[in-house]
């Protein structure tokens, strides 16, 4: 009986441990660099219904990001929260959420973004013929329209907000107002075109 029972239990337990490992990805599948300062990058780790990434400053994770589309018209939007090693975008199960439990605080902000090919919005680029698309100069990039606003309201207290904007003489806000260029060599076709 033991000979049958142990292999059966092992076979049942194996998929769960494999699935747990598969939900984490530590290899970036797309890189976006700030056009204002290349020390700021966004690395995307999951490309499913939502695209999960982390915003880095000099290889140090600072914020978790989720890129998604709203229902209905399909407006692209992003969610951002301070990076937390316990809840982060390496896991495809990550979801930014506001939690207030004693003193634990996870707080996110949302905003719109627009994807571009060169200087042309993605929707216009995709509406063109293949011949017209080939004439477009420049790389794919995105503009996180509401990122400056999200940075401002992401902080719980005014002192935290002031400290954040004082870092590097307010450079975070200037980075937030500029484009993020996609690295075609390090992006899947889907992310390069549709993120």
Q: Encode 88-140 in three state secondary structure.
A: CCCECCCCCCCEEECCEEECEEEEECEEEECCEEHHHHHHCCHHHHHCCCCCE
pLDDT mean over 39-45? 96
CA 137 to chain centre: 25
The total number of structural domains that make up the chain: 1
The reported pTM is 0.83
Residue that has been written with the tokens 């000979």 in this structure: 3
Residue 16 lies in a domain: no
Range of 161's domain?
Answer: 23-194
Q: What is the C-alpha to C-alpha distance for residues 178 and 149, in angstroms, rounded to an integer?
A: 13
Residue 12 lies in a domain: no
Q: Sign of torsion, CA 9 10 15 16?
A: positive
Residue 9 lies in a domain: no
Residue 174 lies in a domain: yes
Question: What pLDDT score does 101 carry?
Answer: 59
Residue 107 lies in a domain: yes
Residue 52 lies in a domain: yes
Residue 141 lies in a domain: yes
| Edge-to-edge order in the sheet of strand 51-57 | 108-112, 76-82, 60-69, 51-57, 40-47, 30-34, 180-182, 140-143, 114-117, 120-121
Residue 6 lies in a domain: no
Confidence of residue 98 (pLDDT cuts 50, 70, 90): low
pLDDT mean over 80-108? 78
Token digits for 125?
A: 């680029």
Strands 40-47 and 51-57: antiparallel
């Amino acid at each position: 009986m033991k000979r049958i029972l142990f292999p059966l239990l092992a076979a049942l337990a194996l998929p769960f441990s494999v699935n747990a490992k598969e939900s984490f990805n530590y290899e970036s599948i797309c890189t976006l660099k700030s056009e204002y300062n290349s020390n700021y990058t966004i690395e995307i780790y999951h490309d499913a219904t939502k695209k999960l990434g982390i915003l880095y400053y000099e290889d140090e994770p600072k914020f978790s990001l989720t890129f998604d589309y709203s229902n209905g018209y399909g407006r692209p939007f992003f969610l951002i929260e301070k990076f937390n090693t316990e809840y982060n975008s390496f896991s495809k199960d990550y979801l930014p959420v506001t939690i207030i439990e004693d003193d634990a605080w996870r707080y996110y902000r949302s905003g719109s973004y627009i994807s571009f090919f060169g200087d042309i919005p993605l929707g216009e680029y995709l509406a063109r013929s293949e011949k017209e698309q080939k004439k477009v100069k420049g790389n794919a990039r995105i503009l996180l329209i509401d990122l400056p606003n999200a940075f401002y309201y992401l902080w719980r207290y005014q002192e935290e907000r002031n400290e954040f904007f004082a870092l590097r003489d307010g450079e975070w806000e200037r980075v937030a107002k500029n484009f993020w260029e996609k690295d075609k060599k390090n992006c899947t076709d889907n992310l390069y075109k549709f993120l």
